[in-house]
């Protein structure tokens, strides 16, 4: 992968799927824990920083999708409650 180029969606998806595969494959092996990124780098042939960035962005997106969405905007059709 040449430096400074934007990653295609296919490369990002392949990186995420490889990371997930190695996480699941190595889940039962405590000695292999923590080396998942190294395995993805060797498998795909990208840099360590690229794999780290893609995985970090994926985790942030997953976390934002799982959180409830609260809007500070008020629906203009809502009426004020009087007590």
Give the pLDDT confidence of 6-41 residue by residue, as tens digits. Answer: 889 999 999 999 999 998 877 777 777 678 899 999
Give the pLDDT confidence of 33-78 residue by residue, as tens digits. Answer: 678 899 999 999 999 999 999 999 999 988 887 655 555 555 556 5
Is residue 18 within 8 A of residue 40, CB to CB? The reply is: yes
- Here the contacts of 2-8 (C-beta below 8 Å, separation 24 or greater) are 7/50, 7/54
Is residue 50 within 8 A of residue 1, CB to CB? The reply is: yes
User: CA–CA separation, 14 vs 41, rounded Å?
Assistant: 11
Dihedrals phi, psi of 81, to nearest 5 degrees:
-85, 130
Rounded to two decimals, the pTM is 0.68
Q: What does the domain layout of the chain look like in residue ranges?
A: 32-63
């Amino acid at each position: 992968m040449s430096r400074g180029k934007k990653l295609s969606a296919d490369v990002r998806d392949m990186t995420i799927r490889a990371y997930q595969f190695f996480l699941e494959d190595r889940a039962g092996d405590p000695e292999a824990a923590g080396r998942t990124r190294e395995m993805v780098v060797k498998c795909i042939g990208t840099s360590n920083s690229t794999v780290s960035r893609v995985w970090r962005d994926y985790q942030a997106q997953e976390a934002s999708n799982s959180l409830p969405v609260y809007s500070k905007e008020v629906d203009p059709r809502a009426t004020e409650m009087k007590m």
